[in-house]
Amino acid sequence: MHNKTLAELAAGLARKEFSSRELTQHFLDRIQRFDGELNSFVTVCAAQALQQADAADAMRTAGNASALTGVPFAQKDIFCTQGVKTACGSKMLDNFIAPYNAAVIEKFNAAGAVMLGKTNMDEFAMGSSNETSFYGPVKNPWDKTKVPGGSSGGSAAAVAARLAPAATGTDTGGSIRQPAALCNLTGLKPTYGRVSRWGMIAFASSLDQAGPMAQTAEDAALMLNAMSGHDARDSTSIVHPVPDYTATLGASIAGLRIGLPKQYFGEGLDAGVAKIIAAAISELEKLGATVVDIDLPASDLAVPAYYVIAPAECSSNLSRFDGVRFGHRCDNPKDLTDLYKRSRAEGFGAEVKRRIMVGTYALSAGYYDAYYLQAQKVRRLIKSDFERAFEKCDVIAGPTSPSVAFGLGEKQANPIAMYLSDIYTIATNLAGLPGMSLPAGFEKNLPVGLQLIGNYWSEARLLNVAHRYQQVTDWHRRVPAEFA
């Protein structure tokens, strides 16, 4: 059962080929068998999952089921989940039991889905390798000496190893797409404001967006149907119609204009990855798409702009973790200042401290104009580049990551090299655009992801292009031999 897609499992449940309890128990058994080495889960909710499965079976018997009723999922440990530890990969929240459900959790519960557990992640979603987690690094199922990507690396590894049919992720600068690429999954970052951020622990509020991580575009469409919609509790949630993302999956892509930015195919891109991306684009051309060259001249400024804006917002968002109201509190503080200092020093890891310091500096008097304000101006230039590009094309294509998965520990001593892992994904977040990664082939026996970027609210088109590609290729069906 574990090699079936989300859509296939939903169909099997509808035909009563198996029950939700049987399906849930199967995946719980796989987690127990395989996850000790992968470390993809922080919390496994076995008893709760089986209760939800029984409730889902009752819903199906009563004829009240939706498409996802009874299907097991993994949830990234960034979404507050009532009664369950929500640690966000940090010692700071290791003792935090969420008193309410995030909007995303609410929506999956309303659909009758089953939560297998909460997945490991880079601390407060800060990282590109899932090595900054307080709970230890996650290993890539394709090669356990390699990283799975981050920050949604636990979700990616769990789905790649078929410990869960699908999972949620969040994407601040590529944290859905990059691990999807490194683990051979389909991952989608929706338009900013498409999915509610309420109850999702914030890293950088103007960049964070939740999305699906699954085997196929069809599965991602099913998940996005459940996740999307306006939420009055989230001031960044946008009122915009939610289409049925599965309705146009099979539409022809004849005449589709694919833009190829020269900045995404230059220095820094691994030659083997470039060859695979070229072959994937050729497949799309065989399906009737045409290719046009486009220019995104401000692309080179995306990484430096991001690493001013994101740390500035993280500095503000993480100021609430002070040892007073919730989270880690140091022992026997001498006074209030000592409480603040030691609680934060003990609770946060090195990468989070680094970004808080950078962000606080960028926002400080005398430096705000020189750094933060300039970065926001660059952000506007990046957005304008995309606006001009979409006058010439319908979808932008390129690599998701400049290389295949790198070794555990390989880049930990060099933060700049780590930051450049997201060089092709960051601009999408700065502009608020939807983007996705889909399996495109293998280099050195490791997965390569093709990135597609669309105009605002064009998730249905991206999913359509990805689905048509997956109808003529089988990369997305490949599973690591150990977990097949």
**Per-10-residue mean pLDDT for the chain, 484 residues long?**
96 97 98 98 98 97 95 98 98 97 98 98 97 98 98 98 98 98 98 98 97 98 98 97 97 98 95 98 98 97 96 96 93 96 97 96 91 96 98 98 97 89 96 98 97 98 98 98 94
Q: 26 in a domain, yes or no? A: yes
Is 228 part of the annotated catalytic residue set?
Answer: no
pLDDT at 250: 97
Cβ neighbour number for residue 147 with a 10 Å cutoff = 31
**Residue 346 placed within a domain:** no
Structural contact between residues 311 and 305, judged by C-beta atoms closer than 8 angstroms = no
Active site residue 151: yes
- Decide if 428 is inside a domain: no
Phi, psi (5° rounding) for residue 43? -135, 130
Contact call for residues 181 and 437 (beta carbons, < 8 A): yes
Q: What is the pLDDT of residue 326?
A: 87
The pLDDT, as a whole number, for residue 299 is: 94
Which backbone phi and psi does 317 adopt, to 5 degrees? -65, -35
Q: Is residue 237 part of a domain?
A: yes
Q: How many Å apart are CA 226 and CA 229, to the nearest integer?
A: 9
Please state the domain count of the chain: 1
Identify the pLDDT of residue 325: 87
The reply to whether 447 falls in a domain is no
Catalytic residue among 90, 151, 237, 315: 151
Whether 175 is catalytic? yes
**The predicted structure's pLDDT at residue 194:** 98
In angstroms, the Cα distances linking 402 to 262, 268, 293 are: 14, 7, 19
CATH code, domain with 108: 3.90.1300.10
Is residue 393 one of the residues assigned to a domain? no
CB contact at 8 A, 170 and 51: no
What sign for the dihedral angle of Cα 55, 60, 66, 71?
Answer: positive
Domain that holds residue 107: 6-255
| pTM > 0.75 | yes
- What is the model's pLDDT at position 413? 87
Catalytic residue selected from 66, 76, 118, 403 = 76
Asked whether residue 436 is assigned to any structural domain, the reply reads no
Q: Is residue 336 part of a domain?
A: no
pLDDT for the residue 416: 87
- Choose, from 19, 40, 129, 175, the residue flagged as catalytic: 175
Are 138 and 128 in contact by the 8 Å Cβ rule? The answer is no
pLDDT at 154: 98
